[in-house]
Structure 1
Amino acid sequence: MKIQGRMFIWLSVFILAVAIVYGVWAKEPVGTTGLFLAFGLSIMIGFYLAFTARRMDSLAQDNKEADVADESGEVGFFSPHSWQPLSLAIGGALLFLSVAVGWWLAYFSAPMLLIGLWGWIFEYYRGENRTQ
């Protein structure tokens, strides 16, 4: 985390320099404001990561001589045969397409999106996998 904190802090310094140069040169308020907001977000993330890294033990990514396998372990549980992400992706794609084609398409895509989301969340709460 120390490396990521330093990267974000240096990125924020770069974004601040670009925001100042852009603001003086272009005199365009919207882009200048966006760059200053990007600076603020980057500095917040950098200081959070640096602050958190000081309170944690050193991770394998902070050791220059560490191997890739040093941080290996269980990542989480992923459903091996779920069809719910497909319906969620189709519903989401059609919902975003409704912005370009017409809002009438949202009436057909929103139920598909909600069914896919509901099915994915509660996939293991029915049948033989139900917890009691």
Structure 2
Amino acid sequence: MRIQGKMFLWLSAFILVMAIVYGVWSKEPAGTTALFLGFGLSIMIGYYLAFTARRADAMAQDNKDADVADEAGEVGFFSPHSWQPFSLAIGGALAFMGVVFGWWLLYFSAPIILVGLWGWVFEYYRGESQNQ
């Protein structure tokens, strides 16, 4: 994670320089603002990754002599049969269609999004916080 943090911090420095150069030369506010927002996003991600890398164990990509097979194995737990992402996708699609067709559509999409989000977060909690 350490190398990704450094990459994002260097990327943020590059985006900042490009935002200043673009703003001075073009005098166009929309693109300059977008570049400064990109700088802010990149620095937030870089800081988070660099901060988290101090508390986490070193990974294979942090070692210059590592092989590809050093990171082989289980990546994490992914739910094999969850319908919650589908409900979130339907709710999100309805919400974005509300921007096009009318804001009244958000009244129908917000409960679908909330139910899908609630279901996804608490999918494996039953009873007294049991993992089943």
Give TM-score scaled by structure 2 length. 0.71
For 2:86, the equivalent position in structure 1 comes to: 86
The alignment status of 1:13 with 2:13, answered yes or no, reads yes
What is the one-letter code of the residue matched to 1:131? Q
How far residue 57 of structure 1 moved from its aligned partner, in angstroms, is 5.4
How far residue 43 of structure 1 moved from its aligned partner, in angstroms, is 4.2
How far residue 102 of structure 1 moved from its aligned partner, in angstroms, is 1.1
For 2:130, the equivalent position in structure 1 comes to: 131
CA distance in structure 2 between the partners assigned to 1:119 and 1:47 by the alignment: 31
For 1:25, the equivalent position in structure 2 comes to: 25
What is the one-letter code of the residue matched to 1:111? P
Query: RMSD value over aligned CA atoms?
Result: 3.2
Name whichever of 103-112 and 57-66 sits farther off: 57-66
How far residue 53 of structure 1 moved from its aligned partner, in angstroms, is 4.9
CA distance in structure 1 between the partners assigned to 2:11 and 2:55 by the alignment: 23
Where structure 2 has 5 or more consecutive residues not aligned to the other structure, the ranges are none
How far residue 94 of structure 1 moved from its aligned partner, in angstroms, is 0.8
How far residue 13 of structure 1 moved from its aligned partner, in angstroms, is 2.9
The count of residues paired between Structure 1 and Structure 2 equals: 131
CA distance in structure 1 between the partners assigned to 2:115 and 2:25 by the alignment: 51
Mark the structure with the bigger radius of gyration: 1
CA distance in structure 1 between the partners assigned to 2:120 and 2:23 by the alignment: 46
How far residue 20 of structure 1 moved from its aligned partner, in angstroms, is 2.2
Q: Is the alpha carbon distance of 1:113 and 1:5 closer, same or farther for their aligned partners in structure 2, counting shifts above 3 Å?
A: closer
For 2:71, the equivalent position in structure 1 comes to: 71
CA distance in structure 1 between the partners assigned to 2:50 and 2:117 by the alignment: 36
Query: How many percent identity over aligned positions?
Result: 77
